[in-house]
């Protein structure tokens, strides 16, 4: 009661692309009266019976929905049973004083006396904990929980309890990250840890040879889990191995770069590279959990942090909020939650997930023209964001101030032909993610305009 379920519920539903059902409101419509009136006329016991009927029907709906339950519904054993066995249940946390302030003075039948209210809160607490799959304070927390993403400073130390299941666990890191965070991960995994494996540092991890070696090294049954601790290169290859070994095993990325925490480890895309190009082989394979510990960023070099800031600025522009100004843990939480929501709405990249490519069409073209030498991904994304904003008729100050990208020296013709080959081209027509008043849209622009925007990013 007073936690904010009816306020946050519609927001969560929108972020997840699911319908919202407010059980108390539905119940009132069905009863033809308000809950306080029903309580008054027929009593709590009769109300709970009506509530049970409605709640069970809603919780058994075949199509996914976001459902706000009445605060007392957990007292009914059959509802608790459904919440434990059938639904993903998030306990929206609120401290009892705030809950009382929000509830007192209204017409809620069980919020008339402060000490009774607090006693009720205590009695219900145990029942809430019994059914909750996750806990959260706001919409972002709930979206993250729905995506299986745990963001907490210090989460690495709790890795053992955060890897779902009971089976054996194998750990994969690159030697550098293994040297810094490997011991903490091993200790946290405890007796479930069956073996430790290495992948090369950086993009070299994403080769078919590395995937093949991991396939042959693994000794896991189908109840095993692969844990990848490291940057996006490590989590991409390990996710791909998890997607394919034994036709798909559970996996848990533990991203230790900013790119990994706000982007690569969220959303279920896994990939390896081919000589013909990056990420050409891969699978959608959603991790059973992603364990994001922003404290691991403390050991990350500045240039790697800058790589991540480019994705943070992109995310903030898409979300319409200056997320780049937030302190590390909150910045990671908000960015990861934004991406998680988009990916839950479009898990197989068939529609709106394309918005996450804001600026990336230009970035990839510049990187390809430079043959991935001499241009960092962050620089390229920063420049790509400039072009996307200019084509959208928007100011570019944020990108200039936070990322300060400088034009790069690459061959103009090569960059243009790389951009024309972009995978978002349909029937030969290039489509770009642009940022309009109503939000991001995929739009075709005349070649001359796009080419001029690309040329502006290239040093004379
Ligand atoms: N799957 C996706 O949705 C997705 C999204 C974005 C990027 N990616 C992929 O991610 C890759 C890039 O990932 P990245 O930017 O994380 O780089 P990375 O994984 O290549 O790591 C960069 C370097 O940072 C080091 N490192 C990692 N964590 C550290 C830490 N905490 N302290 C000190 N050093 C640390 C690593 O050893 C490595 O040398 C690319 O291959 C890209 O394609 C995938």
**Tens-digit pLDDT profile for residues 130-176:** 999 999 999 999 999 999 999 999 999 999 999 999 999 999 999 99
Q: What is the mean pLDDT of residues 346-359?
A: 95
Whether the Cβ atoms of residue 225 and residue 163 lie closer than 8 Å to each other: yes
Whether the per-residue pLDDT at 270 is higher than 90: the answer is yes
**Predicted local confidence at residue 435, as pLDDT:** 96
Whether the Cβ atoms of residue 224 and residue 197 lie closer than 8 Å to each other: no
**Predicted local confidence at residue 3, as pLDDT:** 82
**Predicted local confidence at residue 233, as pLDDT:** 98
Q: Tell me which residue has its CA closest to atom 42 in ligand 1.
A: 232
CA 303 to centroid of ligand 1, rounded, Å? 12
193 touches ligand 1 (CB under 6 Å): no
Q: Who has greater pLDDT, 460 or 171?
A: 171
Residue whose C-alpha is closest to residue 186's, from 270, 254, 260, 261: 254
**Predicted local confidence at residue 427, as pLDDT:** 65
Domains of the chain: 5-147 (3.40.50.300), 151-307 (3.40.50.1970), 358-455 (1.20.1090.10)
- Asked whether the CA dihedral 39, 43, 49, 52 is positive or negative, the reply is positive
Mutate which of 184, 204, 206, 264 to test ligand 1's pocket (most atoms within 8 Å of Cβ)?
A: 264
333 touches ligand 1 (CB under 6 Å): no
d(CA 394, CA 419): 22
Whether the per-residue pLDDT at 424 is higher than 60: the answer is no
Q: What is the mean pLDDT of residues 212-240?
A: 97
Q: Who has greater pLDDT, 277 or 184?
A: 184
Calculate the average pLDDT of the chain: 94
Please identify which residue in the block is written with the tokens 């706001």.
Answer: 138
367 touches ligand 1 (CB under 6 Å): no
Other CB atoms closer than 10 Å to residue 349's CB: what's the count? 15
Residue whose C-alpha is closest to residue 128's, from 161, 98, 96: 96
Q: Is 87 exposed, middle or buried, given 0-12, 13-18 or 19+ CB atoms closer than 10 A?
A: middle
Q: What is the mean pLDDT of residues 412-433?
A: 81
Whether the per-residue pLDDT at 423 is higher than 60: the answer is no
d(CA 386, CA 42): 64
The DSSP 8-state label assigned to residue 65 in this structure reads -
178 touches ligand 1 (CB under 6 Å): no
Whether the per-residue pLDDT at 428 is higher than 70: the answer is no
**Predicted local confidence at residue 299, as pLDDT:** 98
Nearest-atom index, ligand 1, CA of 181: 31
Q: Tell me which residue has its CA closest to atom 21 in ligand 1.
A: 231
């Amino acid at each position: 009661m007073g936690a904010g379920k009816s306020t946050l519920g519609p927001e969560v539903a929108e972020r997840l692309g699911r319908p919202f059902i407010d059980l108390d409101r539905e119940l009132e419509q069905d009863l033809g009266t308000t809950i306080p009136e029903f309580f008054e006329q027929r009593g709590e016991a009769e109300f709970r019976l009506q509530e049970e009927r409605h709640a069970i029907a809603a919780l058994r709906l075949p199509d996914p929905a976001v459902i706000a339950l009445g605060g007392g519904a957990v007292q009914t054993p059959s509802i608790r049973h459904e919440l434990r066995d059938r639904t993903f249940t998030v306990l929206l946390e609120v401290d009892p004083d705030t809950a009382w302030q929000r509830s007192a003075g209204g017409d809620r039948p069980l919020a008339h006396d402060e000490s009774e209210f607090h006693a009720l809160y205590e009695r219900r607490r145990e029942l809430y904990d019994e059914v909750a799959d996750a806990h959260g304070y706001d919409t972002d927390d709930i979206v993250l929980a729905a995506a299986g993403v745990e963001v907490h400073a210090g989460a690495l130390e709790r890795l053992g309890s955060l890897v779902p299941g009971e089976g054996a666990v194998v750990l994969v890191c690159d030697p550098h990250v293994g040297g810094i965070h490997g011991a903490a991960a091993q200790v946290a995994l405890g007796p479930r840890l069956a073996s430790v494996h290495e992948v090369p540092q950086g993009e070299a991890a994403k080769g078919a040879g590395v995937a093949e070696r991991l396939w042959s090294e693994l000794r896991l049954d189908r109840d095993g889990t692969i844990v990848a601790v490291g940057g996006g290169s490590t989590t991409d290859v390990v996710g791909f191995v998890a997607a394919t070994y034994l036709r798909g095993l559970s996996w848990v990325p533990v991203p230790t770069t900013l790119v990994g925490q706000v982007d690569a480890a969220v959303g279920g895309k896994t990939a390896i590279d081919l000589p013909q190009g990056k990420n050409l082989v891969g699978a959608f394979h959603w991790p059973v959990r992603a364990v994001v510990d922003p404290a691991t960023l403390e050991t990350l070099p500045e240039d790697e942090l800058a790589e991540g800031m480019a994705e943070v600025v992109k995310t903030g522009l898409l979300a319409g909020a200056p997320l780049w100004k937030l302190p590390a843990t909150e910045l990671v939480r908000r960015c990861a939650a934004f991406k998680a929501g988009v990916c839950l709405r479009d898990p197989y990249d068939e529609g709106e997930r394309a918005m996450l490519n804001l600026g990336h069409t230009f970035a990839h073209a510049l990187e390809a023209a430079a043959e991935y030498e001499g241009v960092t991904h962050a620089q390229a994304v920063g420049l790509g964001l400039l072009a996307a904003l200019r084509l959208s008729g928007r100011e570019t100050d944020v990108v200039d101030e936070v990322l300060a990208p400088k034009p790069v020296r690459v061959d103009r013709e090569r960059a243009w032909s790389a951009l024309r080959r972009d995978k978002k081209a349909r029937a030969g027509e290039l489509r770009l993610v642009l940022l309009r008043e109503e939000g991001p849209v995929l739009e075709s622009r005349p070649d001359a305009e796009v080419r001029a925007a690309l040329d502006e990013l290239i040093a004379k």
